[in-house]
Amino acid sequence: MANPPHYLAHRKSWNSWNTSNVKDGNRPSETAVEDMFIRQFMRGTWHNLFVSEVIIKRQHNIIRIAGIITRSIAPYKIYFLTGYTEELLSYWLQCPIKIELVTTDSKKDVVFKYI
């Protein structure tokens, strides 16, 4: 978030690498559609809680979803949403899903520099 949008391809790495699009890749279009589905599911399930972007990391058979959320709801609701999200996405995508969250008090605490 520190760079303007037109510098992202030159100065920063993308938040999800889709390496299956390389020559003779296993799942070229499925990975892009799954990433889009995961981001929309997270936006709908964790409504207005994410302060950062949803970051998707794929390692072998595991999909890790990371991000920063605010502490605007009770902790037991965060635990419920974490388990709910992991279970449903694991069932739909047929692979283990791991949610990695960091909490913050407000959006102003997140470092954001756009010059």
- Quote the tokens at residue 20: 């299956």
Asked whether the beta carbons of 94 and 86 are under 8 A apart, the reply is: no
In this structure, the chain runs to a length of 115
Asked whether the beta carbons of 77 and 45 are under 8 A apart, the reply is: no
**Mind listing the pLDDT tens digit for each residue in 28-46?**
677 888 889 999 999 999 9
Q: Which residues of 47-64 are buried (b: 16+ CB within 10 A; e: fewer)?
A: eebbbbebebebeeeebe
**Mind listing the pLDDT tens digit for each residue in 54-84?**
999 888 889 999 999 999 999 999 999 999 9
Half-sphere exposure of 72 (CA within 13 A, CB side): 11
- What topology does CATH give the domain 5-109? Alpha-Beta Plaits (3.30.70)
